[in-house]
A and B are shown apart, each in its own frame.
Chain A
Amino acid sequence: MLLDLHTHSIKSDDGRAKVKNYCQWIKAKNLEIDGFVLTEHRQFDDESDYSALAEKFGITILKGSEVETEYGHVLVFGVTSALQNAFDFTSTHLAIAEVLEQSKLHGAIAIPCHPGRPRVGMFAHTDQLGVPDGVEIVEIYNGGSRDQEDQIAIDNAIKLGYKGIGGSDSHIVSHIGRCATRFESKISSMDDLVAALKSDNFEAISLK
């Protein structure tokens, strides 16, 4: 099963895609992905219910978040109300240690995204701040990567023994599905996704 683990909709300040149009696009273009996770910036979207769209189009639609730390941006999967109270999702200066620790404590999983990117990627900060404890997975394929950003992510992930995921980081409709993560198991809920990410049975895919 292929899931794009990193997408944004109009709920994000820089997102311009409506979720319905994502679904239409995936079907119209016969994209390989079976679903996607909405990871809105600095928030968890409690309000939106995409179950009707998911059913209509036969697409898995899940919700996570993308938060901001001193090491750059981090995806969080398995967000609960309790986790939302554990740290301030809206902050642009979270401590990555707290995000990793609290996520683990609440049964979620935190994954640094586009880690090879200057300024907002984890490996841009490890020379100065050191390698943070507790990271097990990083995003090694990102649909918005430029220059050698994905290669930096891959090289460092290998060096540090991290597993890798892929996500398009789409902000407009036509950019969805550029990168994804292949799972051996069927994922139909966030619990399934978190469990699969805690296993070794997935691989990052670039479809660019």
Chain B
Amino acid sequence: MTISSISDVEFGEELPVFEPDTSLETVKTFAKIIGWGGARFSDHEAARKEGFPGAIVPGILSQGYLVAMIHQWAPQAEIKQIDTIFRAAVVADESHQITGVVTDINEDENLVEIDITVVNSKGETRVFGTASVEIACEK
């Protein structure tokens, strides 16, 4: 179910889980397009030599996936802010899940706050943060 009005949003509501494409091919292509050359985004072995656990997903790609997760839930939402803290690398070719839950609703300003978390297959938090999202009130 998608959300189109803030009146449909409930405190504690869980957004549909989003599974980002973290394949090395996609990461490599993305890094190339944005001009971020470098082995850390394209080669597991070379990334390990730089001290990473493997080739890593660029932070802005992870941010893009967070936006996609929110828009999958509320397609018309306007994302005012995404504030993330990167606790550990998101490693390419490893399966991850992005979860979101509503933790504040301000109906006066049509704003919803969402906790967002990127976890790996072991359930370990790699990235967490909050998003502030404006959702219209349709009466």
Contact = CB atoms under 8 A, between A and B. Distances in A.
Interface of A: 14, 16-18, 21, 24-25, 28-29, 144-147, 171-175, 208
Contacts of B103: 17, 21, 24-25, 172-174
Interface of B: 11-12, 83, 85, 87-88, 101, 103-104, 113, 115, 117, 122-125, 128-130
Contacts of A146: 87-88, 122, 124-125
Contacts, number: 48
Nearest to B128: A172
Contacts of A173: 101, 103-104, 115
A140 to B, nearest CB: 17
Nearest to A16: B130
Most buried by A among B12, B87, B101, B115: B115
Contacts of B113: 21
Contact of B12 (A14, A28, A145): A28
B129 A16 contact: yes
A171 B12 contact: no
Contacts of B130: 16, 172
B104 A29 contact: no
Given A144-B87, A175-B128, A208 B123 contact: yes
B123 A147 contact: no
Contacts of A29: 12
B124 A25 contact: no
A20 to B, nearest CB: 8
A146 B129 CA distance: 17
A173 B12 CA distance: 10
Please provide the 6 A-B residue pairs with the shortest distance between their CB atoms, ordered closest to farther.
A173-B103, A174-B115, A28-B12, A146-B124, A172-B115, A16-B130
A21 B113 CA distance: 10
Given A146-B122, A174-B101, A208-B123, 4 more contacts: A145-B124, A146-B87, A171-B128, A175-B125
Contacts of A171: 85, 128
A172 B123 contact: no
A25 B12 contact: yes
A172 B87 CA distance: 13
Contacts of A147: 124
A172 B118 CA distance: 13
Nearest to B13: A28
Nearest to A15: B85
Most buried by B among A16, A144, A147: A16
Most buried by A among B83, B88, B122, B130: B130
A159 B107 CA distance: 53
